[in-house]
Chain A
Amino acid sequence: MYRIIKREEMAEGTIVLNEIEAPQIAKKAKPGQFVILIANENGERIPLTMADVDKEKGTITIIYMIVGKSTELFASLKVGEGYAHIVGPLGSPTHIENFGTVVCVGGGTGTAVLHPIARGMKEAGNEVISIVGSRTKDYLILEDKMSKISNELHICTDDGTKGRHGFVTDELREILESKKVDLVVAIGPVPMMKFVSLLTKEYSVPTMVSLNPIMVDGTGMCGGCRVTVGGEIKFACVDGPEFDGHQVDFDNLMQRLTAYKHEEEHSKECMLNKKV
């Protein structure tokens, strides 16, 4: 069992943080890599990119939004309890170097994944401009942490409850208009990454996105996580999870993410009915 040593609700009943004992994974993990978690012996394998790693304590941190049965199960685990299985670190680490000016765009819980990458970019000597967006201010996460490692931090909410009333792309366009940007890193919901990539293409700014398709093994064995990149089929688990945003077929990714929509709803319903 992989024991949870800290549990925090970043948005009540919606976004949860777990810090988990996993010394061997912590020892090897680099920014941009993911783990696969299984809640219990009947559970499914859920891939999540790590939000943080403490090599000294031997812990990893994940932040997730409760959406289906598995994340409900994750959220039900208390401090001292734990995950039946965690495997990782998987995927290729983020390529971090001094590019010059890097704009880091995070949407929803994607900001959790973005944070260690932005921090790495900052440590590598980049000027880091961050844009963090969410539907509403209650779902904004890691504002303080992002602020610490960014030269500038811009907040956007869809409903205007905090920061700019609008999308992250509105903010990004202004930045791209006003200064030379060497790289954009965008991590968040698929539509957000799609529109960021379309925008940066106009300005010919290289853009990196981190994809989270449906996976089973996470080691290249099943091909369930295949994504179309530059017209070719790639496996997100071993070729990614990060790809050139200008090459990714986001519409196909969105389509593939709905493959088990019916089953996912059924599974959650069964779980909730049992509770009642």
Chain B
Amino acid sequence: MNSSVADMTKKERRAIPRQDMNERDAKERAKCFDEVTLGYSLQEAQFEAARCIQCKDPACIKGCPVGIDIPGFLDCIVQGDLHGSINKLWERTALPAVCGRVCPQEMQCEAECVVGLKEGREPVAIGNLEMFIADWARENGVKNEVVIPPATGKKVAVVGSGPAGITVAGDLALKGHDVTVFEAFHRAGGVLLYGIPEFRLAKDIVDYEIEGLKELGVKIEYDSVVGRTVDVDELLEEMGYDAVFIGVGAGLPNFLGIPGEELNGVFSANEYLTRSNLMKAFDFPKFDTPIIPGTNVAILGAGNVAMDAARTALRLGAKSVKIVYRRTKEESPSRQIELHHAGEEGVEFEFLTSPLEFVGTDGKLSGIRCERMELGEPDESGRRRPIPVKDSSFVLDCDLAIIAIGTQANPLLTNVTKGLELNQWGNIKADEKSGKTTKEKVWAGGDITLGQATVILAMGTGRDAANSIDAYLNGESW
């Protein structure tokens, strides 16, 4: 193992620049679904980890929703102790390979990193290093060798196998509880599977992390829509579950509510991405689910999901892909890295542009009537409000339009479950610290409580709920 990095002086360490992540060439990758990021070499990882100054009171840990011992796992890398490093990660997360890839580190751990607070310096690339260690463990067959305590005999049902549900399942299995996950789809992973494309998070990584859960004793019931196939009360009263965690996500896509939305060629991002990601329509006809590969594609919205849809459309062979957004790049809710990657691959941007109507002939989309906008005074979100420019309407030609303007709570489960209080947006009301809902023995977390958030925030709520469930199963009163 390379020990020279560990021997470097503080001054030498300070001189190391942030190690860029190796990426597949933009032109090459825009034509295939292979992962964009190629990872670090061991040496790059050790150089990067050596940039950490091992603060006494590490702010980065506070920036992490699941409280990973970041200086600890980084120091192990510097020392060449990769086993030690992955174990540090596994103490707090069941999904390091996923989080290393999709967490918005620049708003969390890396935003707090003291190294990056100094002028002209960049924070330690914590996310890249998490990915490096997780990939090393997977590629080398290193298993989480935790000792599971004797079975407690308590049964927990987890509804949904997305980031929140997976976290709860993993945490409670590690405490010796008997956990069953109920998943509506035929594969587990939730949004990691249907939402995030292959080129950003390879699906064999998700499968691998799910397999790890199964090795901890977690059972998964596929094809089970809770609220239809089985009800929450049935789980508690007839099937003997002592606790239920609801992590069904925010699955209902928003539409624009403008004329022409019913035309063929207009999709929700949820549908477009589910077809391509979960159903593997990108590999049609080997896989049976079809997808319409547009020639001129417009994406409405500029969040992370919009970037995923845009980059998917490019890979499916579109000649032109345009992001249509009523504000500017600065107000875009997408991560900067996603905007950057999309732009590099050839996605174009129509900022300050708002859709008015989908137009088409014979039921098929041919374009979007749009108008130009300008920025006015700040609105309640603090961002400058876009105002239409008079007489600026025009038709943007496209044969495929993908609406990516967010999702809301799916009422499928909440409509039929008595005693669950919801907020005005239909999200389940849950205690911020414990995840307890207004229904006894039922906890909730992830997007069904948060609205639309991130993978790691969902995992954070899952972690809190798991602690609360464990305490309850050990005799704490409701």
Contact = CB atoms under 8 A, between A and B. Distances in A.
B90 interface: no
A219 B284 contact: no
Interface string B258-283: 00011010011011001100011000
A160 interface: no
Contact of B285 (A90, A222, A223, A266): A266
A26 to B, nearest CB: 11
A67 interface: no
Given A216-B275, A221-B251, A222-B253, A28 B268 contact: no
B239 to A, nearest CB: 11
Interface centre among B223, B225, B287, B412 (most CB of A within 10 A): B223
Interface in A212-241: 216-217, 219-224, 226, 228, 233, 238
A224 B274 CA distance: 11
A69 interface: yes
B155 to A, nearest CB: 17
Interface residues of B, number: 40
Contacts of B279: 44-45, 216
Contacts of A108: none
A42 interface: yes
Name which of B186, B224, B255, B288 has the most chain A CB atoms within 10 A of its CB. Answer: B288
Contacts of B274: 216-217, 221-222
Residue of A84, A219, A267 contacting most chain B CB atoms (<10 Å): A219
B253 A221 contact: yes
Interface residues of A, number: 43
Contacts of A197: none
B264 A43 contact: no
A12 B264 CA distance: 34
A144 interface: no
A222 B288 contact: no
A224 B186 CA distance: 18
Interface stretch (A114-122, A131-139, A183-191, A253-261): A253-261
B264 A87 contact: no
Nearest to A73: B288
Contacts of A255: 264, 362-363
Given A221-B252, A266-B285, A88 B264 contact: no
Nearest to A269: B285
B262 A90 contact: no
A152 to B, nearest CB: 35
A98 interface: no
A276 interface: no
Nearest to A46: B288
19 contacts: A24-B224, A25-B229, A42-B287, A84-B186, A85-B223, A219-B184, A221-B253, A221-B274, A223-B270, A226-B261, A228-B262, A233-B255, A233-B261, A238-B412, A252-B363, A256-B264, A259-B292, A263-B290, A263-B291
Interface of A: 24-25, 28, 38-39, 42-45, 69-70, 73, 84-90, 216-217, 219-224, 226, 228, 233, 238, 249, 252, 255-256, 258-260, 263-264, 266-267, 270
8 shortest interchain CB distances as A-B pairs: A255-B363, A263-B290, A222-B271, A44-B288, A87-B223, A44-B289, A221-B251, A85-B186
